[in-house]
Amino acid sequence: MKNHTAPTNPAKGRLHHLAIQTRDWEESKRFYIELLGMEQVGGFQLPHREVIFLNMGGGDLIELFEPIKANDYELPDHANESLAVFHFALAVEDVDAATERCRTAGYAVKIEPKILQLDGVHARLAFIIGPNGEHIEFFKDLSSS
């Protein structure tokens, strides 16, 4: 067995962007920009669709892809076991307020706000289902509280 040193984490604890294939372009923009308050900071036009970048607040981005309008294009199916992203978590100051804001806007709450305490994790969290079927976790670290 070779002697390996611990690798250096190239990401340095940062996510650059998470790409989401939207099902409803206008509703997705409304959800992320108006409801969650993210700011559009860029984008580009592909031959058959638009792509925009949204700042989550700390410089990490969500990249939204407009659906392709061609008839033979199939959107991702969240029941498809080959999809790799299970959910993504947004660090928030108030899990209950973020959850209620989404519920009031008509989005389903998958897991109501609750405390999770496991080895090394003490947090308040909740899950909602976004406009494209994506599972979004609202997460508040309580380990230093």
Strand order in the sheet with 50-55: 17-21, 61-65, 50-55, 39-45
Tell whether the model's pLDDT for residue 54 goes beyond 80.
Answer: yes
Q: What was the pLDDT predicted at 95? A: 95
CB 126 within 8 A of CB 95: yes
Burial of 14 (0-12, 13-18, 19+ CB in 10 A): exposed
Q: What was the pLDDT predicted at 102? A: 96
Q: What CATH number is given to the structural domain containing 58?
A: 3.10.180.10
Q: What was the pLDDT predicted at 72? A: 45
Strands 50-55 and 61-65, sheet pairing: antiparallel
Tell me which amino acid residue 15 is: L
Helix (H) or strand (E) holding 97: helix 95-104
Q: Tell me, what DSSP letter sits at residue 74?
A: -
Indicate whether 96 and 143 sit together in one domain: yes
Q: Which long-range contacts (CB under 8 A, 24 or more apart) does 8-16 make?
A: 14/59, 14/60, 15/60, 16/60, 16/61
Indicate whether 144 and 107 sit together in one domain: yes
Q: DSSP 3-state assignment of 101?
A: helix
Number of domains in the chain: 2
Indicate whether 95 and 135 sit together in one domain: yes
Tell whether the model's pLDDT for residue 27 goes beyond 90.
Answer: yes
Over the chain, what is the mean pLDDT?
84
CB 128 within 8 A of CB 120: no
Q: What was the pLDDT predicted at 83? A: 58
Task: Of 32-41, 56-65, 129-138, give the range with the top mean pLDDT.
Answer: 32-41
Of 15, 17, 62, nearest to 37 (Cα)? Answer: 62
Whether 4 is covered by a domain: the verdict is no
Range of the domain at 119: 86-145
Q: What was the pLDDT predicted at 110? A: 95
68-121 residue pLDDT tens: 776 545 555 545 555 567 789 998 999 999 999 999 999 999 999 999 988 778
